[in-house]
Amino acid sequence: MKFTEHLTDMGRAGRKVLLLAALVSVGIPALADTYPSRPIRLLVGFAAGGTTDAIARFYAQKLAIELKTPVVVENKPGAGQIVAIRSVKAAAPDGYTVYMGTGSALSQSPGVRNDLPYDPAKDFTFVGLVGTAQGVIIVNKDVSAKSLGDLVAYASRHPGQLNFGSSGIGSASHLAGEYMSKVSGMTMTHVPYKADADIVQAMYTGSVQVGIAPVQGAVTALTSGKVRALAVTGTRRVSALPAVPSVSEAALKGFEGLDPYTYYGLLGPAGMPEESVRKLNAAINKVSSSPEVAAQVREKLYAEPATGTPQAFRKQVLDDIARWRQFGKLVSGAS
């Protein structure tokens, strides 16, 4: 081959490389713009029928409209949401597997435990806060207490006779119950279940006498009169239970630490594409900002819809972990 022909072939090859590079550079934004192009899995770490499941399914319907693709809820209960979290960590970080995390798994358990198989700061992509929820402290008909002060006095008169139910080991209801026991000096035996609805059912049968649950999971039972509300967590009353005082009104030392009871937020595997995060976050904010949706969240789910950036959500989680680490030191007796 002549030298000039060799140069010509090299020139042709170079043009092909440049053309391919140009096509790839054009194609990348085009591919990113197609997200989402198939159904999105939304994992929930609790059984169907609980408060987290209800909020996840409500938002899944609304997000599907905004994103123009199905958002399918998958329940993976067990081990304080670790079953669901393992699935999230194992999923491809492509934006098609996300997780409705709660305060118990994202900050409460990480704050009081050092044996978890995940680190919220490293193992997730934070997408956005969805909402917050107050809890309600309830007792069954066998407990005569009419207030938090009455409950503390009742527990002192009946040592070791109170069981408190939760939606699972490491759940918000579990940790809130342990917190309440610690700051008040009450001795209660923990009985774990799989969902908030199970706590109420157990109170009907007398298996447990005390419970803390999101308002959404308890309001039907409360209106039926089968269980009694002593207080709602936080500093304000809940419109659905206007006669029930807040823990702030009870003025019992330490109980103010029960605020917030829990929160809900969307996360994905570490390393999700920025464009996927941006679109999901924008969809959450648009849904939560809708006056119609906000009214439904407050009136039907008894939660407060939230908006914000992924960065703000991440900061909230890390700040809450630090708060619960202080509680962990209180429980262990560490300084």
Domain boundary among 209, 225, 258: 258
Radius of gyration of the chain (CA): 25
Domain end position, chosen among 225, 243, 258: 258
User: Is residue 16 a part of any domain in this protein?
Assistant: no
**pLDDT at position 332:** 57
Are 70 and 102 within one domain? yes
pTM, entire model: 0.79
* Residues 145 and 128 occupy one common structural domain: no
Write down the residue that tokens 């970080």 correspond to.
93
Last residue of a domain, one of 241, 258, 275: 258
φ, ψ at 65 (rounded to 5°): -70, -45
Q: What is the CATH number of the domain that holds 194?
A: 3.40.190.10
Structure tokens at 41: 């899995």
Say if 306 falls within a structural domain: yes
How far is it, in rounded angstroms, from Cα 80 to Cα 284? 25
Q: What is the CATH number of the domain that holds 296?
A: 3.40.190.150
Residue 325 tokens, joined = 């680490």
Contact 107, 118 (CB under 8 A): no
Assess if residue 4 is contained within a domain. no
Which among 168, 131, 169 has a CA at the least distance from the CA of 55?
131
Beta strands in the chain (DSSP E): 40-44, 71-75, 97-102, 124-133, 135-140, 162-166, 188-192, 210-214, 227-232, 262-269, 303-305
Helices of type H across 236-309: 247-250, 274-289, 291-300
Same domain, 142 and 236: yes
What integer pLDDT is reported at residue 25 of this predicted model? 46
Compute mean pLDDT per 10 residues along the chain, 335 residues long, and list them: 49 49 44 82 93 95 98 95 97 98 94 94 98 93 94 94 90 88 92 86 93 85 88 88 91 79 95 98 98 93 94 97 83 51
Domain total in the chain:
2
Within this chain, do residues 158 and 89 fall inside the same structural domain, yes or no?
no
Q: Which two tokens stand for residue 112?
A: 């009081």
Residues 206, 318, single domain; the answer is no
Q: What is the pLDDT of residue 331?
A: 59
Residue 64 lies in a domain: yes
With contact defined as beta carbons under 8 Å apart, do 126 and 267 qualify?
A: yes
Which domain covers residue 297, as residue numbers?
48-132+264-332
Residue 255 makes CB contacts below 8 A (sequence gap 6+) with 148, 180, 183, 184, 231, 247
Residues in the chain, total: 335
- Residue 23: per-residue pLDDT: 40
Residues 157 and 249 in one domain: yes
